[in-house]
Each structure stands twice: as structure tokens, then as C-alpha cells.
Chain A
Amino acid sequence: MLHHLYRHKYVYLLLAPAVVFVFLFHYVPLFGWVIAFTRYQPGLSMWDAEWAGLEQFRRFFVESNDYLYLLRNTLVINILIIITNLSLGLIFAVLLNELRSRFFMKLMQTVSFFPFFISWVITYSISYTFLSQSTGVLNSILVHLGFIESGINVLGEAKYAWPLAVGLEAWKSMGYTSIIFIAAITAIPSEQYEAADIDGASRFQKMRLVTIPNLVPTLIVILILNSGWVLSSNFEFFFIFTNPTNWERMQVLDIYIYDFGLKQNNYSYATAVGIVKTVVSLIIIVSINALSKRATGKGIF
């Protein structure tokens, strides 16, 4: 072992910063979980805080039923986002691969990738310009053409909250996700396409029988990795787009932690809800990995 370490010392030294980083920023903060079991006051040592046992968890699960709609919103929105993003990314990558013009392919890739770099604040302004009930471009066109009498309040009404979240995430992430699939497509051996050509396969059949099956392992890995984040919502999006008329469908665990924890100075409560989130995420990722192993024989651990 020591001999192995010595022989590969430079490799391990190069790895050290990453290990230190993960240890400092992902493992050391776990000690802070202890404040979920105390009545922690900012400014005082967390070790001096009064012990409260499971009080914070009781407040979350027993004294309120907030967890019901929070888990519903968080799970539904994030699962829909994962499914939509992966599906659109995969379809878009496959279609891009079929383009004959290299210039047009690069252009499409760049255009679809661009929204990924737009901040959520700017995205809100763009959404407002297009979707505002009274002056939004889309509403104005629909009213002008006589399809609707007055504008639809997409940004305000609860029933549009989930489609809005999924749609905007898809718009921002499709180009980014497709890059991963495009990389996987380039790794498909050309012999498979040549064999399909000899067998007289059409372009659609090659897509269905060669390209897509070769992308399944990548899809599974991304799906499992993403499922670990299924309870971690895009804070900026929800912070900006949640309002008093759509909160019932839009408020997610991360915003709840912010509202009831950080804004109210209740760090103990925020940590307790954060722990719940972590535990549920862990259960989800282990379950999906197990399901994947059973269904496809593939998993990441």
C-alpha cells in the first residue's frame, strides 16, 4: 500500500486539492447538523446551545403539514424537469447528429446552448416581456388574433406554475444536456452504422436501433446522478418566480428553508429541514440505482 502510494505520489498530490476541497466544504459542514438538535443562537457557540432533541423535526412533521405540499411540489417539479431535460436533450442531440451541414449543426448547437448562460434575473425579465398578462408579447398576439379575450396570467396563476418551471428549465438546459449526448454519440463505433447500412437500414432505423441504444448507458448515469439532486431545486428560479398567487404550486423545500430558517434567524429549524431533504435524497438515489440495476443491469454503485 505504502509502496503503491509512493510510486504514484504525484498523482495523489494532484488529487489532494480536490480531496481537501470536498472534505472541507462537504464533510466538515456535516458537523453543523448538530444545531438541528439544539436551540442555536447566531453569535454564540453551537456547543453551548441548549439541547432540544427532535423538537425541530417535530415542528416540521407534527405541528404542521407543510411537508406535504413541499415534498409534492419539490418532487413533481424536479422529476418533471429531469424527465423533460433528459428527453429533450437526447432527442435534440440525435436530431443534430442527423444534420448534414456542419455549419448549421454548429449554429444550432450554439443557439440552443446560449440560454444556459443567461441569469435567472434576466430570464424573469424575458419571461415578463413575453408572458405578462397585460403587455406580454404572446398574450398581445393571442388577444389581437381573437384566440383569448384577455391575457393569461402565466406568471401569477398557480395552475401554470409547474409548466412554467419545467418549460423555462428546458429552454435553459436543453442545449447543455444535448452536449453530453452528442459526446456519447461521437463515441459510437462507426462499424455499427456501416453494418446497418449493409443491412439496408433507413436513417430512422439507424437512429432507433443504433444511436439511441448506445445512448442508454449515458442516460442511465445522468438519470441516477440527477436523481440525487431531485430535492435540490434551483433556488434562484424559485426565489424570483414564486409570488403570493402561485406559492401553493411553486414553493419548494429550498425556499421554505430560506423563508422559515434563514430569514427568521431560525438556523436550527432550517438545518432540521435540510437534514430531512438530504435523507430523502439519499433514499431516492439508492432506490433509483437499485431499480436501474434490476431493469438494465447498469448502476453507478
Chain B
Amino acid sequence: MTESVFFWIFAVLTVLLAAQVVLRRNPVHAAVSLVGAFFFLSGIYLLLAAQLIAILQVMVYAGAVMVLFVFVIMLLNLKEEEMGHERLTAWKIIGGASIVVTTGLIAYLALGNAYPTGLLRDMARTQPGFGSVKGVGQALYIASVLPFEVTSLLLTIAVVGAVVVAKGKI
């Protein structure tokens, strides 16, 4: 019951804020809406018993990544006329809305009856401590140590690459 209440609150707020990102003209407004969307999404992650991921979502996404976005928006410091004409016509909005509705409908058709009644496996109930830092951490460092190291190299390359592309004269 509590899950239902929180799910609907978080879901509605996430979708509303994500729609703001797509529809707002000003990039700063979009970025702030996105921070909110990520924050409420992390609430949904908590409902899905993914505690570690929920914290990472707030720290990495709503924190670091969005700071980067806002920083770049401020750095470019776009003036009103430089933002150009965002021709957001009624047709575009109708088109976007129809994409959303169709995809939701297809997802419901494809997955709606995926779970047979009476056979629902709920890891949050059957596995004590599911999604805890300890469990996920062990899975991460033992079974997935190779992807972990590859990701570390990927991040190094991304840092170097960002400098290579964007820096001025050395």
C-alpha cells in the first residue's frame, strides 16, 4: 500500500519533470527540471530495493553530471538571441506526445501479461538484504572485476578526450 502511494507520487513527478526538460526553452530551466526528475527517479529505485544504485543516482547523476551540464550552460552563457528560434509548434508537441503514448502502449502490450498471476518472484521479499551495498559490491568486485577495470580506463580516456577536444592552446 505504501509502495503504491509512493510509486504514484514519484512516477507522476518524474514524468512531469522529464517532460519539462523536453519542452522548456531555456536550458537552465531544463537542467534544473532534470535534476528533480533524477531525484524522484532515485526514489523509485529505492522502491525497487536498489539502495546503492539510488544513492549513486543522486550523487553521480543529480550531482556530478548535472553540475557539468549547468557549468557548460553557464560557460557558454547564451543570450536570448543566440538561443535561436526554437520552433516548438503544436505539431511537434503532438508528434512527441504520440511517440510517448505509442511506446507506452507497445510496452504494455509486449510486457503487460509477462508475469503470470500467482508466480510473481519478488526478490525484495525473498532475499533479505537485497540491493544492499555489501551484496552489490561483492557482485561488482568479484564477478564483474573486468568490466570494472575497463570502465576505469574508459573514464580516463573520457577525461583525456574531453581535454583533447575542448582545450585551447597548451
A binds B: no
Give the B-binding residues of A (Cβ under 8 A): none
Chain B residues with CB under 8 Å of chain A are none
